[in-house]
Structure 1
């Protein structure tokens, strides 16, 4: 079975009144190439007449954001002209590429009525050859994302990208980024084989899992060695896992604020281009 290198606890990083935990990057783990950043917002309950999510207009370049809405909603708008409101169970995939400005806030209905909120945003790196691709955005509701099942139907997987349990994911990607949200019933098991050439992203959102003999509690991320393909996962209680795997790029990574490039010169160029309006202009 694949060896565990270290288990990392997500760090408490609230953003105003928004509960936020982040397992990557931290002092103990910078990245799991090509997965570079994860924020876990919530779970929490917003009251009526709330201010919603705080992520007003801001730029990105050189990476992709994948946003998983477990509860609540997100109203997306960007300088490329895309707009959507994605609700519970939906996923957004935004390729920042050469650069754009976007905002991720709550819908007017959510701000008025309040309710449960739990959202994860994962940043996936782009290889150097794709960092300046034309930006794009796709938001899909829950019913538009394929679901795969284990043989005994006790584990279901919302297949976001790549392929998992024989099911093709909803989003097309530039590289072999495989991402799924896995839902475990109590007393369920799953055996997987992931090529040793690929890095695994394994973050327990909710519940408690055991993987290859080690117990992993919620809000913990597992860093694996690349020494064996086999994973044995079991759940004694209902649990949710954000699971991914991909071939590492093995390129220099320089991340500053909202930009992820391969050199400081490219970061400086990104800030200059943003200030010059080359990532689009924001209009309310």
Structure 2
């Protein structure tokens, strides 16, 4: 295979930390490996809640009301269920295979908790949360919410029941993703059986990585990436060959970089310090709406 997008590094999961009391996450970027704020742009943050067993609890665990502005949060459920509420009046529950795609835009308050029946029963919990940056022209866009169920995803099935590529965003072999995005990107859940190979072609300059959710896999005949590791690619080619060493679930992220200044502070992701100060001022004045704890 020619014009290979080569592997820069395989990243092991950084030490886990808690977000609220409901999410035990490994932060691969931007802080986990000091890759820099732009290295995976338009994806600014990847928090991965690897598999963990939560005991039953009457009062659901989670993260209380907090603000966001200037980006999108994307939550992908692999095990367990999460409930979302925000100050724009959106709410929803996602379970295994589903996605919540919230555009904070000009500003929302939101909260995320384990869904109440899941919380009462306890069980296996596994999630990915991404922060997807917005370009300057769209940072103050009207907030919106996309609750995407697994059956709404575009799906490319491999022959002989060897697997499926679920297209969350972008497109794969002519099959379009379910999510609408502000900048060009491809986001796939790749589910393939042991011994299966799959070829993917992506734009050379797009920042690209693969998180190994289950099993293990090789990219371009390189070293094996085990469960919970992240494969970071260079921006030097277009083609990736993936081989499943075991039955595997892989989350592929690839997107066109947003080449603009980034000024992150707390729950906001803007272009300048002045915009951050404005966000806190607007929050204090109640411009993010109201949301009950």
The interval holding the TM-score normalised by the smaller chain is over 0.9
Please name the residue that 1:29 is paired with. Answer: 35
Query: Deviation digits for residues 91-150 of structure 1, max 9, x if unmatched?
Result: 000001011001110122112111221111011110111100000011122222222223
TM-score (norm 2): 0.91
Bigger mean CA deviation after superposition, 131-140 or 221-230: 221-230
* SS of alignment partner, residue 67 of structure 1: strand
Query: Deviation digits for residues 147-191 of structure 1, max 9, x if unmatched?
Result: 222345423122111111321111111111211111121111111
> Is the aligned partner of 1:43 residue 2:48?
no
> Is the aligned partner of 1:149 residue 2:157?
yes
Please name the residue that 2:25 is paired with. Answer: 20
Please name the residue that 1:174 is paired with. Answer: 182
Please name the residue that 1:115 is paired with. Answer: 123
Cα distance in structure 1, aligned partners of 2:209 and 2:280: 30
Query: Deviation digits for residues 43-92 of structure 1, max 9, x if unmatched?
Result: 12222225444211111111111110111111110000011112221100
Query: Deviation digits for residues 230-276 of structure 1, max 9, x if unmatched?
Result: 11110120111110211111111111111111111111111111121
Q: Tell me if the contact between 2:11 and 2:230 (Cα under 8 Å) persists in the aligned partners.
A: yes
Cα distance in structure 1, aligned partners of 2:114 and 2:240: 37
Cα distance in structure 1, aligned partners of 2:23 and 2:180: 31
Cα distance in structure 2, aligned partners of 1:123 and 1:210: 26
* SS of alignment partner, residue 104 of structure 1: strand
* 5+ long unaligned stretches in structure 2: none
Please name the residue that 2:267 is paired with. Answer: 258
Q: Tell me if the contact between 1:45 and 1:117 (Cα under 8 Å) persists in the aligned partners.
A: yes
State how many pairs are aligned: 284
> Is the aligned partner of 1:244 residue 2:247?
no
Cα distance in structure 1, aligned partners of 2:246 and 2:163: 12
> Is the aligned partner of 1:85 residue 2:88?
no
Cα distance in structure 2, aligned partners of 1:178 and 1:50: 38
* SS of alignment partner, residue 110 of structure 1: helix
TM-score (norm 1): 0.94
Please name the residue that 1:163 is paired with. Answer: 171
Among 231, 234, 237, which residue is 1:222 paired with? 231
Cα distance in structure 2, aligned partners of 1:41 and 1:52: 17
Query: Deviation digits for residues 10-42 of structure 1, max 9, x if unmatched?
Result: 212221474321211124313411111011113
In angstroms, what is the RMSD of aligned CA positions?
1.7
Q: Tell me if the contact between 1:23 and 1:220 (Cα under 8 Å) persists in the aligned partners.
A: no
Among 111, 131, 140, which residue is 1:132 paired with? 140
Cα 1:51–1:11 change in 2 (3 A) is: farther
Please name the residue that 1:273 is paired with. Answer: 282
Q: Tell me if the contact between 2:155 and 2:167 (Cα under 8 Å) persists in the aligned partners.
A: yes
Cα distance in structure 2, aligned partners of 1:280 and 1:112: 30
* 5+ long unaligned stretches in structure 1: none
Cα 1:115–1:198 change in 2 (3 A) is: same
Cα distance in structure 1, aligned partners of 2:247 and 2:145: 32
Q: Tell me if the contact between 1:24 and 1:38 (Cα under 8 Å) persists in the aligned partners.
A: yes
